[in-house]
Amino acid sequence: MRGLVILCSVVLAGVILGPALGRGVVLAYDLAWSPDARLTPFATGITTPTPRAVPSDAFVWLLGAAITPSLAQKVVLAALLIGASLGAAALLREVRPVAGRWGLCAAALAAVWNPFVSERLVIGQWTVLLGYAVLPWAVRAARRAVVGQTGSLPVALWLGVSGVGGVNSVLLVVLGVFAILLAGARRAPRRMIAHLCVATGATLGISAAWMVPSLVAEIAVDSRSVAAFGPAPDTPLGVWGSLVSGGGFWNVAAHPAARDTVFVSVTAAALSLVAMGIYLVEVRRRNALELAAPVIVGALVVVLSALPALRTMWEWLVTEVPGGGALRDSQKFLAPWMVAVAVGVGLVVDSLRRDRRPWGTPGAVVVIGSVVVLSSQLVWGVGGRLDAVRVPADYRAAAAALSTMPPGEVGVLPWSQYRRYAWNGDRVSLTLAPRMIDQRVLSDDSLPLRSGVISGESPRSAQVSEDIASGLTPVAALSRAGVRYLFVERGAGFEEDGTDEAAARAAGRVVAETESVLLVELPGGGFGAVQMPRANTVGWEITLLTSVVLVTLGGVRVVRRRLPAGLLRSRP
Amino acid sequence: MTTALGSVAAGAILALVAIFGGVAAISPSANSAAKSERVVIYDAP
């Protein structure tokens, strides 16, 4: 039975990713993946006020160095989907140990075949999906710790795995784990305190690499982002009707077109509510009400962010409380809800299959088919939106050459962090420059939305934007900021009238000029070698130490569990 | 026997709907907003 569920999960991941598993790398919105393994200052988080992709980009570099970046991306994306599927099936077994293969496969399907996964995949937020994939496993481990079946170690290990993704994935898993441990305090208060201490230690340790520099930096959050990143309707049912079925992501660009129809949105909402109802009834029946706690807490966060009456309080929480900015994109806290819905779908299908009446099996087929049809956009790279492409060789060569040149800051043009590379099918993606150039990179970190521009965090970047707005050319503004190199990306989806390029050529020495890149060295550029700030050093040290401890303890646990069986099998 | 036949028929119909839905989803070009603009808008539909 386990083999069938694994097969289901692998097939589902293959069907969803499709062309994304081809040669090259997928570049989509926030998914910017260097085709060359290079640990850049951006990846370690030392060139931005708060680390943006820590430790996720460093992990990507490490994995890429081991198995090539292209393969690493496929492994990561497939592992996320397979992990989410298997996790939901495992949680179903926890809730209903006798669940059969139909129910398990249905749970595995519903865990990845839904609007939540679709919208996050399209926007390339693999770290959110990492949290989503780890959540059912962490929830199961926490529940077992609550009933005394296991100790704290499995919980700490799953928190450690979520730590790879940084703030987004950690938040989702921490929410689930702490909700269960606190809800379980009524059973054995002392044991829960011990579990909570271990979980807190693991969370802080694994998060120190981004947490310490972020707390030291004290960056202000743009208040306009609170409304911009709040839940948005992706169905005719409004925000609440969209959220119920796992949609409601703030970015319209990620919304599946099919959810515009009333039939699809109503059916999806109804199916989710039925599945959730069955899930809650089942956990209550099995005296496992702790398993409802993550759903309630996650839903509460989303409700707080979406209720107009609480807008002022929510805005204060996000903008004034340290670390509150991580809550802005509140729809991600639907993750526990979606995991529970997936388990609920498995319960529904399992119940129907066990029903001896004639409609049992056809009913189960209809439920499974409905899940498939309601998110049919997921087929084959989310309808072609995820596709592996080859980064042009000249772009890679220019980035490699610049990485070996004397230290100096690199100004990236066009002055925006988003691109529509022609060689990437004009898809929106982040610029690859900070992840490919082993130098300090200065790029525009503001977020251009239809409703206006959300300010970034870098004061130097903001100064360049201000200078451009006041009439300076981008080249002059970057030159004034003291950059040593200009990295002008061509064919990046902007109007190319040659103004920037002509100004760049005139401003300094042309180092390289290819189809994709113009690289210029300016005279008198400042900023030499990049020094790691103290807070970053301390944070990384704590995180690396925690990782070593967790990996060692995890290894010992695996060996201990397998050793007796191995000894029994071995011949004298 | 009837149950099995019903399951197969229902499954086949739903699979066809899913395939057609998938093909329809694939058809529109990805992020097909205007290629050339001064700023690449992050949330352009």
**Model pTM above 0.90:** yes
Domain co-membership, A451 together with A496? yes
Handedness of CA A484, A489, A493, A496 (dihedral sign): positive
Which residues in chain B touch residue A368, judged by CB atoms under 8 angstroms apart?
Answer: 14
> Which residues are A513's β-sheet partners?
A518
Q: Are residues A482 and A375 in the same domain?
A: no
Give the pLDDT band (50/70/90) at residue B37: very low
Out of A361, A384, A425, closest to residue B7 by CB? A361
Phi, psi of A520 (to 5 degrees): -125, 140
Q: A488 pairs with which residues across the strands?
A: A413, A518
A313 and A409 belong to one structural domain: no
Q: Which two tokens stand for residue A2?
A: 């386990």
**Token code pair at residue A41:** 């200052």
Q: Does A411 lie in the same domain as A292?
A: no
Chain pair A-B, CB pairs under 8 angstroms: 129
**How many alpha carbons fall within 13 Å on the CB side of residue A196?**
15
Residues 489-508 of A with CB under 8 A from B: 493-496
| Same domain flag for A89 and A227 | yes
Count the domains in chain A.
Answer: 2
Cβ within 8 Å, pair B43-A253: yes
Q: What pLDDT, on a 0 to 100 scale, did the predictor assign at position B1?
A: 53
What's the total number of domains in chain B? 1
pLDDT score of A546: 98
pLDDT in tens, chain A (572 residues): 689 999 999 999 999 999 999 999 999 999 999 999 999 999 999 988 888 899 999 999 999 999 999 999 999 999 999 999 999 999 999 999 999 999 999 999 999 999 999 999 999 999 999 999 999 999 999 999 999 999 999 999 999 999 999 999 999 999 999 999 999 998 889 999 999 999 999 999 999 999 999 988 878 888 999 999 999 999 999 999 999 999 999 999 999 999 999 999 999 999 999 999 999 999 999 999 999 999 999 999 999 999 999 999 999 999 998 888 999 999 999 999 999 999 999 999 999 999 888 888 999 999 999 999 999 999 999 999 999 999 999 999 999 999 999 999 999 999 999 999 999 999 999 999 999 999 999 999 999 999 899 999 999 999 999 999 999 999 999 999 999 999 999 999 887 667 788 999 999 999 999 999 999 999 977 666 667 889 999 999 999 999 999 999 999 998 988 776 555 555 54
CA distances from A76 to A25, A130, A462, A551 (A): 12, 9, 34, 18
Do A245 and A150 reside in the same domain of the chain?
yes
- Quick one: pLDDT at residue B25? 46
A window 544-563, beta carbon within 8 A of B: none
Question: C-alpha angle with apex A234: B38 to B34, nearest 5 degrees?
Answer: 20
Contact criterion met (CB < 8 Å) for A448 and B11: no
A366, A376, A418 ranked by CB distance to B40: nearest: A418
Distance of residue B8 Cα from the nearest chain A Cα, in angstroms: 8
Residues 245-274 of A with CB under 8 A from B: 250-253, 255-258
Residue A552 belongs to some domain of the structure? no
Which residue, of A384, A412, A430, is where some domain finishes?
A384
Considering the domain architecture, whether residues A227 and A82 belong to the same structural domain is answered as yes
- Nearest chain A Cα to B6, which residue? A362
A423 interfaces chain B, CB cutoff of 8 Å? no
Element (H, E) at A45: none
The pLDDT of residue A271: 97
CB contact under 8 A, B44 and A494: no
CA-based nearest residue in chain B for residue A372: B18
Q: Which residues of A touch B26 (CB under 8 A)?
A: 379-380, 383-384
Same domain, A451 and A358: no
Q: How far apart, in whole angstroms, are the C-alpha atoms of residue B19 and residue A288?
A: 39
Q: Which of these three, A358, A384, A410, is where a domain ends? A: A384
Of B15, B19, B26, the CB nearest to A384: B26
Q: Give the domain range for residue B30.
A: 1-45
Calculate how close chain B gets to A422, using CA atoms only, in Å: 9
In which element (H, E) is residue A388 found?
strand A388-389
Q: Which of A29, A369, A383 sits opposite B14 (nearest CB)?
A: A369
Domain identity same for A178 and A152: yes
Q: By residue range, what is the domain housing residue A492?
A: 392-521
State residue A532's pLDDT score: 83
A451's CB contacts (< 8 A; 6+ apart) are A224, A228
Asked if residue A414 has a cis previous peptide bond (ω within 30° of 0), the answer is yes
Give the residue from A324, A332, A378 showing the smallest Cα distance to A131.
Answer: A332
A positions 333-392 inside 8 Å of B (CB): 358, 360-362, 364-366, 368-370, 372-373, 376-377, 379-380, 382-385, 387
Token pair, residue A104, equals 């398990």
Chain B contact for A515, CB < 8 A? no
State how far the Cα of A40 lies from the Cα of A36, in Å rounded to an integer: 11
> Taking CB atoms and an 8 Å limit, are B26 and A380 in contact across chains?
yes
Domain end residue (candidates: A384, A418, A453)? A384
Considering only CB atoms, B2 lies closest to which of A358, A383, A422, namely A358
Place of tokens 């309707």: A233
C-alpha radius of gyration, chain B, whole number? 20
CB-CB contact of A252 with B43 (8 Å) = yes
Tell me the helix, strand and coil percentages in chain B, rounded to 5. 55, 0, 40
Dist. CA A90–CA A99, nearest whole Å = 10
Measuring CA to CA, which residue among A76, A94, A75, A101 is closest to residue A6?
Answer: A101
C-alpha–C-alpha distance, residues A268 and A235, integer Å: 10
Question: A182 with A210, same domain?
Answer: yes
In a domain, A45, yes or no: no
Question: Are both A465 and A345 inside the same structural domain?
Answer: no
CA distances from A321 to A111, A455, A539, B45 (A): 33, 18, 21, 32
Residues of B in Cβ contact (< 8 Å) with A449:
41-43
> With an 8 Å Cβ cutoff, are A450 and B31 in contact?
no
pLDDT band at B31 (very low <50, low <70, confident <90, very high): very low
pLDDT of residue A355: 85
Q: Do A376 and B18 touch (CB under 8 A)?
A: yes
Whether residue A461 sits in one domain with residue A352: no
As a whole number of Å, the end-to-end CA separation of chain B is 49
Task: Kindly provide the ipTM of the predicted complex, given to two decimals.
Answer: 0.80
User: A362–B25: do the CB atoms touch at under 8 Å?
Assistant: no
